[in-house]
A = this chain, B = another copy of it.
Amino acid sequence: MKSELALVERIRRSAGRSRQLSLGIGDDCAIYTPVAGEELLFTTDLLIEDVHFQRETHVAADVGYKTLARGLSDIAAMGGAPKFCLVSLALAEWTDERWVDGFYKGLLELARGTKTALAGGDLARAGKVMADVVVCGSAPAGTALRRSGAKPGDGIYVSGALGGSALGLESRKGKAWKKHLRPEPRLKVGAALRARWGATSCMDLSDGLSIDLHRLCVESRVSAELDGDLPVFPGATVAQALHGGEDYELLFTLPAGGKAPGSIAGVPLTRIGRVRRGHAGRIRIEGFELQPLGYDHFRKP
């Protein structure tokens, strides 16, 4: 590995610029000049070797891609447009220059495709690889979608199909494995739900429908009733669709009376239930209570 100065210089050359980002990599801070009438959205996500990925099965470009994809998915969940990101990367002894180049190649490929500038970051050494991304997105002031706006009577919807990532992690092959490695942040879906379809609440499915819907209902102080008719990823089980993490689809609610699109930007949308009054966070499915069994980093098994 060359020196940190040389590495930072190489990253800087390939990072790109954006109009509002008047200063990027290379100073103490990046500088962003907001435009009138925008509100800024911020999210941060950790990706850790042997927790979120394995060096044997995840190539460097996939790790870089997913680092950014997780953050972009949070921006999509608020209906925002991504503006820039900062990436902190701790490198393990086993990583070499080729690995670092691959990481940034995967990350910057997604960054370019979504118009997200790489504005800065930090580099360090550690026992395992750890990447932390911060993504800043933008929405017209007062319009960002939140978890807390679901109202009794609203329909509950999801984008795409559920359980694919969990299936891929198990099978390590086919479209399910690709879904796990390279989830597509639903930026166009989120933006349209915010601007055109009057979504009352939205979040991304990172830990599994059962726990994420529980969280949305807690924030909105409502309960939910699911139909049991879920869009299950081909080959996945209903349990994987209900509790599997890392699908990065959007979970959202639309007003009872309104029209709902069948798809947005080629991504199918499915109505899976409705919002109810009652105990905040409780979910019923076909008459039974659904336990929030999705991924929780700290719950003891």
Contacts and interface: CB of A to CB of B under 8 A. Distances in A.
A296 to B, nearest CB: 5
Contacts of A11: none
Contacts of A215: 5
Interface stretch (A27-35, A150-158, A165-173, A272-280): A27-35
A134 B44 contact: yes
Counted per complex, copies of this chain come to: 2
Nearest to A203: B28
Interface stretch (A103-111, A117-125, A229-237, A257-265): A117-125
Nearest to A43: B29
A59 interface: no
A18 interface: no
A147 B42 contact: no
Interface stretch (A45-53, A174-182, A191-199, A239-247): A45-53
A27 B147 contact: yes
A41 interface: yes
Contacts of A27: 78, 146-148, 203, 219
A57 interface: no
A41 B48 contact: no
Contacts of A300: 1
A30 to B, nearest CB: 5
Nearest to A87: B44
A88 B32 contact: no
A124 B28 contact: no
Q: Which 5 A-B pairs have the closest CB atoms?
A: A34-B34, A29-B41, A132-B132, A28-B77, A28-B74
29 contacts: A1-B298, A5-B296, A7-B298, A23-B144, A26-B219, A27-B146, A28-B204, A29-B42, A29-B43, A29-B74, A30-B43, A31-B39, A31-B144, A32-B42, A33-B141, A34-B39, A42-B86, A42-B120, A42-B134, A43-B120, A44-B134, A46-B130, A48-B90, A48-B124, A48-B130, A51-B125, A86-B134, A122-B132, A132-B132
